[in-house]
Amino acid sequence: MREDRAVSPARTSDLLDAIFRYAPIGLGFWDTDLRYRRINPALAAINGRAVEDHLGRTLPEVLGPLGEEVEEVVRGVLDTGRPLVDVDVFGQTEAQPGVDRQWRATYYPVGPDDARTGVAAAVIEVTEERTASRRERRALEQTQAATALLDAVIHAAPVAICLLDLDLRYQRVNAALVDLTGRGSADDVLGRRPSEIAGDMGEKVEALMRRTRDSGEPVYEVELAGELPNRPGETFYREGSWFPVRDGTGAVAGVAGVVRDTTERHQAEVERRRLLKAAVTERGHAEAAQVRAESARRAAEAAQTEAEEARARTEFLAEAGRRMASSMDFERTLQRVAEIVVPRVADWCTITLDRGRPQLEVVAIAHADPGLVELARDLSRRYPPLRDAEGGAGRVIRTGEMKILQEITDETLARLAQDPEHLEAIRALGLRSALVVPLTVSGRTIGALSLIHTREDRRFEDADIVLAQGLADLAAVHLRNAQLYTERSHIARTLQRGLLPRALPDIPGMELAARYLAAGDQNVVGGDFYDAFAADESSWAIMIGDVAGKGPEAATLTSLTRHTLRAAAMHDDRPMENLRTLNRALLAELDSTRFSTVVHGRVRPSEPAGAVVTLATGGHPPPLVLRADGTVETVPVRGALVGWMAEAAFGEADVELTPGDLLLLYTDGVTEVRGRGPEFGENHLAESLAAMAGRSAEEAVDGVLHRAVGVHGEHAPDDIALLALRALPA
Amino acid sequence: MLNPRAKRIAENEIRFREINERMARDVRDIVDPQERLDLVCECGFDTCRETVGMRLGDYDHERADGRHFFLVPGHEIEDLERIVERREGYAVVEKKGDAATVATEHDPRLG
């Protein structure tokens, strides 16, 4: 300090100049008007102007707004006389326009209080220092904030997060990860390896971490399953990603991991699959149950349809049977069978019979279109089916096997045709499908039932086949019965004709009439008979009778009775004697259970008119006489059954017939009325006969027969025979 | 030509096969081949409500022949099918005659 005081003012000025010139800090001096009086290059450089641009100018004139702020500070120092040390000044100057800068300035007054000369300032730029400091502070703050954020994220994260060192020991974990390990706190986890704390699951996790550490490659979203030490027997699922943590040099410094507990998700997936499988299974079984229910319904419907069809078939066959049974005429039965079939079963039906000849005989034809029946009949006449034919009825009759053609092609027709003309004719019939069924009785095929469809939309179904077979069986039986019946009827008619006279004789002055009505089936020979014939040149024999029973045995007895009596009458004109002869003959030929009732008479015409009739009777109802005046008399003659016993007695009486009188011989079929006594029938006959007074013999027998049938109804219980002899009026 | 009963049964069995095929297809991605499926008995009885337990892997094997169907033992219908294999819990039958032809024609695995 002493040495300073010893320096001369010149030296002081030089020193000040040197200091101003070379000082590395900015130096300046403002006068009391606050105008620059001195400034060194360093401060001028800070302001971005030359030294000369400052001198004499105020701070605002040099520095603008910044100058105004500084001027206030400088004025305060000037006014107060107190220095201001290390004042921070912020702003921009023309040295670096647009750049915020900072300076540290010290302002102090120059001169004593009473002789103040101005204010001096020392300024240093601290912009870079301050910026570096702020950066450092900001970096520190950022680091602290990032760390806080990381901690917050780690702890708040819903997933487990961990950081492990190169030895794969946990360095940082969150609560979620602690939970996944099954440990109580982070302290139980930090510093340990996964395998040390998480057992089976930890070993698997550690293996993946090791792979990450060693390869430097991350592992993403790997699912692991395993057990935990504190939960043995349970399987837990984890899904994790592990990645390397690198230091500033890029070297792997550790391993970090993000892990999720997927056990619930896995269990949910297992449950979802189980439910899906159950749903699929349930749906399948429900569909199957529906199929079975639908099938059962269809089966029930089919059964019902089948039952209805069976009932319809039964009804159809029953109706067919009734129609067939309504006639025992062979030809008519065949035609009825054919007509029953059309159009219900087929459009066309033919019945072909095998009569043992090479050519078969088409005996019945029915067609849905009646106009085609004659065409078909003509065709069958011209081209009768052949027994040896390759197909059709001939084949079925030969084999006895049904044949069905669901589609008749032109080739089929060509094979069946006998010549080109035949082919053209059957083509014109429009055959579409055919079913040929054998008519078989007792193992022998007697013919074939052919059913044909002519419409395109018709085909033979199983039910049709069943029906056709049933019909064929039924028809075959009826055919056989009809054949037998026809044969028997023929025999019966032949026999019956042999038991009755072919014609009645002419008796002078007399007229004869007879009627015979067989009861029951025409194939049974009746037991009644009558006869009238010329016994000699002047007399005629008449007889009527009834033998016990019906059928062949009765026919035999009738024949014996009639012809014995006829032979006797030819030799003896005494009726009663002839009955005795007949009695002996019958007793000689037959057993005692076979007998006859007979009225036998001898007619002797009288002159000029009328006749005397000698009547003998054996067990027969007494003859009646219808007189011309209308009265009816019973001829009083009785006798025993003929052929019953050897000592039989027969009555005999003469009856005189005058012109107009009528003698009626009859059998008991006229007077026996079912449910009534004999008197009713006899009285009814007498009344009927009385009503015929004045009528011819023909009219009389018709009238009596008509009224007798009227009493008996449709079916007389017994045969009826009437023989009337009338004396012609003069 | 199948009679109505045989036709109905054949149609049912084909439907059951279709149902089982759909069940197997729908669970194929979610079950293990060794896992057992409760499949529909492919018999012709309308009253049947039973199931056939079979592993998915075995199922594919049994479906290799379009004439084959599997069913609960004793559910076979002798006039329409014959047993060709007996397995644990089920029998494999082969359709006869026209029924076999129909079954093969409708085999979904031949399409």
Q: What is the pLDDT of residues A251-294, one digit of tens each?
A: 999 999 999 888 988 888 889 999 999 999 999 999 999 999 99
Say if B12 is an interface residue toward chain A (CB within 8 Å): yes
Protein fold of A2-125: Beta-Lactamase (3.30.450)
- pTM strictly above 0.95: no
Best mutation target, A269, A276, A294, A295, to test chain B (most B CBs within 10 A): A295
From CA A412, how far away is CA A416, in angstroms rounded?
6
Establish whether this prediction's ipTM goes over 0.90: yes
Give the mutation candidate from A277, A294, A459 for the B interface (greatest B CB count, under 10 A). Answer: A277
- Asked if B31 lies within 8 A of A292 by C-beta distance, the reply is no
**Structural domain boundaries of chain B?**
4-105
Which pLDDT value is given to residue B45? 92
**In this complex, which of B3, B19, B31 lies closest to A284 when CB atoms are compared?**
B19
Is residue A600 within 8 A of residue A723, CB to CB? The reply is no
A462 touches chain B (CB under 8 A): yes
B8 shares contact with chain A (CB less than 8 Å): yes
Taking CA atoms, what residue in B is nearest to A284?
B19
The confidence score (pLDDT) of residue A380 equals: 87
Place of tokens 């590395």: A24
A302/B40 Cβ within 8 A: no
CB-nearest to A288 from B4, B5, B40 is B40
pLDDT of A3 > 50? The answer is: no
Rounded average pLDDT over A446-471: 85
Q: Does B23 touch chain A (CB under 8 A)?
A: yes
When pLDDT is cut at 50, 70 and 90, the band that residue A309 belongs to is confident
B72 touches chain A (CB under 8 A): no
Q: Return residues 395-434 of A near B (CB < 8 Å).
A: none
Confidence label for A6 from pLDDT (cuts 50, 70 and 90): very low
Q: What one-character-per-residue DSSP string does A90-142 give?
A: EE--TTSTT--EEEEEEEEEES-GGG--EEEEEEEE-HHHHHHHHHHHHHHHH
Q: How many CB pairs under 8 A join A and B?
A: 57
CATH 3.30.450.20 residue window(s) in chain A:
2-125, 157-261
Determine contact: B16 vs chain A, CB below 8 A: yes
Q: Which residues of chain B have pLDDT under 70?
A: 111
Look at A292 and B3 and tell me if their CB atoms are within 8 Å.
no
Share of chain A above pLDDT 90, in %: 44
| CA angle centred on A361, ends A360 and A362, rounded to 5° | 120
Question: Which superfamily does A327-491 belong to?
Answer: GAF domain (3.30.450.40)
CATH number corresponding to A500-727: 3.60.40.10
Closest partner residue to B30 among A277, A288, A302, by Cβ? A277
Q: Is A102 exposed, middle or buried (0-12, 13-18, 19+ CB in 10 A)?
A: middle
- Given this model, what pLDDT does residue A522 score? 55
> Distance between CA B20 and CA B30 in Å, rounded?
16
Q: Residue A508: CA atoms inside 13 Å, Cβ hemisphere, count?
A: 9
A290 close to B (CB below 8 A): no
For position A590, what pLDDT does the model report?
66
Question: CA–CA separation, A230 vs A253, rounded Å?
Answer: 31
CATH 3.30.450.20 at A157-261, yes or no: yes
A280 and chain B in contact, CB less than 8 A: yes
Q: Phi-psi category of A384—alpha, beta or left, where left has phi over 0 and alpha has psi -120 to 50?
A: beta
Pick from A281, A291, A302: CB nearest B15: A291
Q: What is the pLDDT of residue A328?
A: 66
Query: Whole-angstrom Cα distance, residue A90 to residue A109?
Result: 22
Report the chain A residue with the minimal C-alpha distance to residue B9.
Answer: A295
Where in chain A is CATH 3.30.450.40?
327-491
Closest CA to A516 of A708, A372, A253, A674: A708
Mean pLDDT of A210-231: 91
Q: Give the closest-approach CA distance of A289 to chain B in angstroms.
A: 7
The pLDDT of A383-409, averaged and rounded, is 90
Tokens of A406: 């669901």
The number of helix segments (H) and strand segments (E) in chain A equals 20, 25
Q: Across the interface, do B16 and A295 touch by the CB < 8 Å criterion?
A: no
Q: Of A132-141, A483-492, A542-551, which gets the smallest average pLDDT?
A: A483-492
